Amino acid sequence: MDEVPPIPKPSPDSSNRRDADCVWNYHGYKLDKGNFTTAMVHLYRAEITRVNLWRNRLDTTTNWAVVATAAALTFSFGNQDNPHFVLLLTLLLVLIFLNIEARRYTYYSLWYHRARLMETDFFAAMLAPPFEPAADWGDALADVLRHPVFPISHWEAMGNRFRRNYAAIVAVILVSWILKLTVHPAPIGSLRELVARAAIGQLFPGPLVVAVVLSTYLLLFLITLEGLRRFKKRGAPRRDEWQHKGPSWFKSGVAPNLAVIVTTEKDRISARLMTELGRGVTAMDGTGMYTGESRSVLLCAITDVQMPHLKSIVREVDPDGFVVVTQAREVRGGHFVTHEAPS
């Protein structure tokens, strides 16, 4: 019989190489750097799927509210004998939909927060120097995975959804309800008659119904204001900041900045900025008024995506140096290419 060749054993060098590349170990299973990136990609795909799922659920409840309102308006104005309180029941149904949608919005914001953590600090870090995420990024993502907490409260979610979607719907219901009381079964002659028509049977007189409706709309208004207050208190970006609109000449969306660097290592920092970032540097002489020591002031026009790399260079070369960053309204001429892709 032919002898079976022995199975080759891994060499010590290859085993040591795998151990050096290992970034995760569990019960003997070792995960190298490539598999770690693959795992992160799968996690990102899962979070994006969750975001899309809950985003579609938001659209579903909004569609329910629109369809219910349209059906109620058709029924209410289809016949003058049809009761007006159908519109009030529709208002109650729409508010139930708003409450459901607010709950879904809190879940949507949670999955969206996770996806943004990976986009901003994992994938974006692959595209711009220094090609590494923030030091506390892993801790932030691990914390939100282990202990999920909704980024916004239920009341804030209600205020946001009402302001963006449901305000128009409930406004149409209110106007339609007043119009129904005004024209059916016959045009009114006074405001007192309108209030009297708002009665629902003998149990709920007109003034009580009107007071409840106005109180409901006032409560919705207050909820909207409170939600907007909490939204701004959290430091959420304004719409213009979120869209990152820059000047028309900077169409790539990468806003120009002016970095002012005060250092005693002007040659080393300037060389690295010009070599690693491809940016020109202008040096000026300066004097520290407190210490009386001579220092160099470097001026460098730079983009947002290159800012972390610039700060890391200054921190490595001159730990005592400091950087002041201001947004430039316009950068023209020289070697500053405004339409380049982020480097």
Give yes or no: residues 104 and 171 share one domain.
Answer: yes
| Average pLDDT for the chain | 79
- Would you list the DSSP string of 201-243? TTTB-HHHHHHHHHHHHHHHHHHHHHHHHHHHHTTPPPHHHHH
**Residue 292 belongs to domain spanning:** 256-327
Whether 40 and 165 share a structural domain: yes
Q: 245: pLDDT confidence band, cut at 50, 70 and 90?
A: very low
Q: Rounded to an integer, what distance in angstroms lies between the CA atom of residue 181 and that of residue 325?
A: 62
Residue 325: pLDDT above 60?
yes
Say if residue 145's pLDDT is above 70: yes
Residues 184, 281 share a domain: no
Same domain, 125 and 94: yes
Is the same domain home to 138 and 45? Answer: yes
Cis bond before residue 185 (omega within 30° of 0): yes
Query: How far is residue 202's CA from residue 60's CA, in Å, rounded to a whole number?
Result: 38
pLDDT band per the 50, 70, 90 thresholds, residue 9: low
226 or 29, greater pLDDT: 226
Please tell me which of 6-10, 110-114, 230-234 the model is most confident about, judged by mean pLDDT.
110-114
Q: Band the pLDDT of 338: cuts 50, 70, 90.
A: very low
pLDDT tier at 227, thresholds 50, 70, 90 = confident
Q: Among the residues of the chain, which ranges form H helices?
A: 12-21, 33-78, 85-118, 137-146, 154-161, 167-183, 191-197, 206-233, 239-243, 266-272, 307-317
Same domain for 266 and 165: no
User: Helix or strand or coil: residue 42?
Assistant: helix
**Total domain count, the chain:** 2
* Residues 206, 197 contacting (CB under 8 angstroms): yes
Residue 155 has pLDDT above 80, yes or no: yes
Q: Which residues pair with 303 in a beta bridge?
A: 256
pLDDT of residue 61: 92
Domain end residue (candidates: 182, 202, 236) = 236
pLDDT of residue 75: 93
Q: Which pLDDT does position 12 carry in this prediction?
A: 52
Report the C-alpha gap between 322 and 332 in whole angstroms: 26
Two tokens, residue 31? 């995960």
